[in-house]
Amino acid sequence: MGAMALASSPWRRHVTVGKTLARLCPIRDKVLDHVGVTQRELLLDVGCGDGLIAFGALAMNPTIRVIFSDISQDLLDHATSLAHQMSVADRCECLCASADDLSALGDRSVDGVTVRSVLIYVADKRRAFQEFARVLRPGGRLSIFEPINRFGEPQPAHMFRGFDVTPIVEVAGKVKAVYREIQPLDVDPMMNFDERDLVAYAEAAGLRSINLHMDAEVKPLSECEDLELTWDSFMRTAANPKIPTIEEALAEVLSEKEAAEFIAYMRPLVESKSGTFRLATAYLWARR
């Protein structure tokens, strides 16, 4: 759950350790800056994943304690191993729990809650916010980062993954229908919220001093220098773990002739990056 899912963008950027850290570290730093955990406080990192936020907090402040929380016991075991290697295990606890059920923690038991790219996997986001508020002590802080996958959705009928498909709109529409069926905008956890919903959930949970910052990019694909976009990556990479690749979707719904028509039209556009890149993310922070 802690992975940085950017499902709102259909493309993958070049995945190297250096570039990944360069992209993730500023997010980590903003999330920690917004939560503002101080001396000897207790931080709950929900959906900790590989521990980017939690270990960042431990490194920034030598007196705080952190609860690593995730639904994956394997990830928690990995975090525990890393904590021993880093000699910070005495300041760490682990909790196997989902974001919308933190019942193992008592009311008003932590000073801060951090959440990074987790709510896109949570069906009951309202309940998750209620849990965040419940476990926070009076004056405690919540800090969230989430991709806003509803940004630019639904796309117009003549657009497919940022490309104008007017000449093949019927064929492309069949492929789009595959994804709409798997991830309905109003139902699927990755797609069923935007930045306004985050504010509404925080307010309904009784949080106060709510702040929201949203970043949005809309630009030609040709300007995305670090974007890995080849024909193979376009066809064989899924935008998120829940959906098939385009190659798989074509095989599912198109005839051989229709698939050939789709490929003949799309390949030159993809290889020349003649499309539009869209991405939106949001930070929310608030007090109990």
- According to the model, what pLDDT value does residue 17 have? 57
pLDDT in tens, 17-71: 566 778 899 999 999 999 998 999 999 999 999 999 999 999 999 999 999 999 9
Percentage helix, strand, coil, to 5, in the chain?
Answer: 40, 25, 35
- According to the model, what pLDDT value does residue 18 have? 64
- According to the model, what pLDDT value does residue 3 have? 35
Contact between 150 and 210 (Cβ < 8 Å): no
5: pLDDT strictly greater than 70: no
Q: What is the mean pLDDT of residues 127-143?
A: 98
6: pLDDT strictly greater than 50: no
Q: Following DSSP, what letter does each residue of 127-174 receive, concatenated?
A: HHHHHHHHHEEEEEEEEEEEE-TTTT-SPPTTEETTEE-GGGHHHHHH
Q: What is the mean pLDDT of residues 202-222?
A: 97
Cα–Cα distances (Å) from 146 to 3, 28, 100, 190, 254, in that order, read 11, 12, 16, 10, 34
Q: In order of start, what are the domains of the chain with their CATH numbers?
A: 12-150+188-219+278-287 (3.40.50.150), 159-183+230-272 (no CATH)
* Percent of the chain whose predicted confidence (pLDDT) is above 70: 93
- According to the model, what pLDDT value does residue 137 have? 97
Q: Tell the burial category of 212 from Cβ atoms under 10 Å away from its Cβ (0-12, 13-18, 19+).
A: middle
pLDDT in tens, 263-277: 999 999 999 999 999
pLDDT in tens, 150-162: 998 999 999 999 9
3-class DSSP state for residue 73? helix
Give CA angle at 272 (270, 278), nearest 5°.
60
Q: How far is CA 226 from the centre of its chain?
A: 19
241: pLDDT strictly greater than 90: no
pLDDT in tens, 97-107: 999 999 999 99
pLDDT in tens, 245-261: 999 999 999 999 999 99
Entry pTM: 0.90
Q: What is the mean pLDDT of residues 219-225?
A: 93
Of residues 225 and 84, more confidently modeled: 84
- According to the model, what pLDDT value does residue 191 have? 93
- According to the model, what pLDDT value does residue 15 have? 45
- Average pLDDT over the chain, rounded to whole? 92
- According to the model, what pLDDT value does residue 8 have? 42
Q: What is the mean pLDDT of residues 59-85?
A: 96
